[in-house]
C-alpha cells in the first residue's frame, strides 16, 4: 500500500543501500568461509599415510618398553627371556655370523617367491582356458597346499642333490598355491557385460586374455603375491630346519637350532628378529608394488592416500 502510494505521488523509490543490514551477501562473500575451510591444513598425524607408519611404531615402542621393564623388574634370567637391549647387543656382536645366515635365507626366499609367481601364473592361465582342465588339475594344486612340508622336505632334500635347489623347491611348494588360486579367481572374475562386448566384436582368446582378463585379475594377483611372499619365507625357514638337522643348512633357521642347543637365547632372539624383519620388509615391498601398479586406476588403491 505504501509503495503504491509513493508511486502514485511520483516519488522515486531508492534502491537498497549496500551498507544496509538487510542487503544480500555477494557470491564472493558466500563462498569465502567454505574456501577457507577447504584449504585448512590437515594435521600431520591425521593423514592416513603417516598413521600407517607412526601408529605401529608407537605400539612397538610401548611393547618393547614393557618387555624391558618386565625383564629388569622381575630379574628374568637371560637364558630364559633376554631383554630387548641384550638382544640388540647380541645382534651387533654376532652380526658377521648372522648377516651371512640372513643372506642365505633371503636368497632362498626370493628364489622361491619368483618361482612360485611364475609357476602359479602359468598354471592359472592354463586353468582359465578350460573348465575341464581346471576341474582335472586343481585338486592336485590343493594337494600341494595341504601336504605338510615338514613331511616331504626330507625326501626332496635326498632326491635333489643341490642343497640350495632343494630348499628353493620346498619353499616354492609352500608358496605357489595362493598365486594359483587368486590369479585363477581374478582371471574368471570379469564383467559379464565387457566379456559379451569382446565376444560381440569377435575378439580372439588371446585378445580377451590380454585386454580384459589380465587387468581384471591384477588386484587378485597382487593379493596372492602378498600371501605368497610370507609363505616363501616360512617355507625357506622350515626347509632350513630340516636341512640343518642333517648338517647342510647355513641360514637363520640353522642358527636358531644351534643357538637352542647351546642355550644362547639372545642369539636365538636376534635371529628371530631378523626373520621377522625380513618378512615385514617383503610384505611392505609387495604392498608398494601393488599400490604403484593399481593406484592410478583401480578402486582398491585409489583414494588410499
Q: How confident is the model at residue 21 (pLDDT cuts 50, 70, 90)?
A: very low
Q: Is residue 24 in some structural domain?
A: no
Mean residue pLDDT across the chain: 82
**Same domain (yes/no): 51, 160:** no
Q: Is residue 119 in some structural domain?
A: yes
Q: Is residue 106 in some structural domain?
A: yes
Query: What confidence score (pLDDT) does residue 82 get?
Result: 92
**Same domain (yes/no): 98, 150:** yes
**Same domain (yes/no): 118, 267:** yes
**Same domain (yes/no): 127, 246:** yes
Concatenated DSSP letters of 182-247: HHHHHHH---HHHHHHHHHTT--HHHHIIIIIHHHHHHHHHHHHHHHHHHHHHHHHHHHHHHHHTT
Total domain count for the chain?
Answer: 2
Instruction: Give the residue from 27, 61, 76 where a domain finishes.
Output: 76
Q: Is residue 157 in some structural domain?
A: yes
**What's the rounded Cα separation, in Å, for the pair 218 and 251?**
33
**Same domain (yes/no): 146, 239:** yes
Residues 232 and 112 sit within 8 Å (Cβ to Cβ): yes
Residues 302 and 295 sit within 8 Å (Cβ to Cβ): yes
Alpha carbon 66 to its chain's center: 28
Q: How confident is the model at residue 6 (pLDDT cuts 50, 70, 90)?
A: very low
Alpha carbon 270 to its chain's center: 24
Q: How confident is the model at residue 212 (pLDDT cuts 50, 70, 90)?
A: confident
112: its cell numbers: 622361491
**Same domain (yes/no): 55, 99:** no
Concatenated DSSP letters of 265-302: HHHHHHHHHHHHHHHHHHHHHHHHHHHHHHTTT-TTTT
**What's the rounded Cα separation, in Å, for the pair 99 and 271?**
10
Any idea which of 23-32, 147-156, 160-169, 208-217 has the lowest mean pLDDT? 23-32
Q: Is residue 1 in some structural domain?
A: no
**Same domain (yes/no): 285, 187:** yes
Q: Is 47 helix (H, G, I), strand (E, B) or coil?
A: coil
**Same domain (yes/no): 64, 168:** no
Provide the CATH number for the domain around residue 251.
1.10.3720.10
Query: What confidence score (pLDDT) does residue 292 get?
Result: 87
| Mean pLDDT, rounded, for 61-85 | 92
Kindly report, residue by residue over 79-100, the tens digit of the pLDDT: 889 999 999 999 999 999 999 9
- Locus of grid cell 640350495: 164
**Same domain (yes/no): 71, 100:** no
Q: Is 40 helix (H, G, I), strand (E, B) or coil?
A: coil
Q: Is residue 39 in some structural domain?
A: no
Residues 245 and 257 sit within 8 Å (Cβ to Cβ): yes
CA dist 80 → 60, 73, 241, 260, 275 (Å) = 21, 15, 22, 11, 20
| Mean pLDDT, rounded, for 182-187 | 91
**What's the rounded Cα separation, in Å, for the pair 18 and 28?**
15
**Same domain (yes/no): 125, 84:** yes
Q: Is residue 7 in some structural domain?
A: no
Q: Give the structural domain span for 139.
A: 79-294
Amino acid at each position: 500500500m505504501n509503495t503504491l502510494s509513493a508511486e502514485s505521488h511520483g516519488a522515486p523509490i531508492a534502491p537498497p543501500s549496500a551498507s544496509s543490514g538487510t542487503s544480500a551477501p555477494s557470491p564472493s562473500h558466500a563462498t569465502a568461509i567454505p574456501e577457507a575451510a577447504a584449504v585448512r591444513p590437515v594435521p600431520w598425524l591425521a593423514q592416513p599415510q603417516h598413521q600407517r607408519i607412526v601408529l605401529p611404531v608407537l605400539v612397538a615402542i610401548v611393547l618393547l618398553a614393557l618387555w624391558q621393564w618386565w625383564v629388569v623388574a622381575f630379574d628374568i634370567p637371560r637364558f630364559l627371556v633376554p631383554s630387548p637391549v641384550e638382544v640388540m647387543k647380541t645382534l651387533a656382536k654376532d652380526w658377521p655370523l648372522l648377516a651371512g645366515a640372513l643372506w642365505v635365507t633371503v636368497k632362498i626366499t626370493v628364489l622361491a617367491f619368483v618361482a612360485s609367481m611364475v609357476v602359479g601364473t602359468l598354471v592359472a592361465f592354463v586353468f582359465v582356458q578350460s573348465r575341464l582342465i581346471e576341474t582335472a588339475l586343481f585338486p592336485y594344486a590343493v594337494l600341494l597346499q595341504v601336504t605338510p612340508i615338514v613331511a616331504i622336505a626330507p625326501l626332496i632334500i635326498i632326491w635333489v642333490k643341490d642343497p640350495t635347489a632343494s630348499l628353493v623347491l620346498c619353499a616354492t611348494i609352500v608358496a605357489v598355491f595362493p598365486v594359483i588360486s587368486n590369479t585363477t579367481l581374478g582371471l574368471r572374475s570379469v564383467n559379464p557385460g565387457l566379456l559379451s562386448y569382446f565376444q560381440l566384436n569377435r575378439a580372439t582368446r588371446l585378445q580377451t586374455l590380454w585386454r580384459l582378463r589380465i587387468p581384471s585379475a591384477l588386484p587378485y594377483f597382487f593379493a596372492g603375491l602378498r600371501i605368497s611372499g610370507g609363505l616363501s619365507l616360512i617355507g625357506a625357514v622350515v626347509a632350513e630346519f630340516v636341512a640343518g638337522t642333517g648338517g647342510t643348512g647355513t641360514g637363520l633357521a640353522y642358527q636358531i637350532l644351534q643357538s637352542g642347543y647351546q642355550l644362547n637365547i639372545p642369539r636365538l632372539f636376534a635371529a628371530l628378529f631378523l626373520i621377522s624383519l625380513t618378512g615385514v620388509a617383503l610384505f611392505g615391498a609387495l604392498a608398494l608394488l601393488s599400490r604403484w601398479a593399481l593406484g592410478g586406476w583401480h578402486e582398491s588403491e585409489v583414494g588410499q592416500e
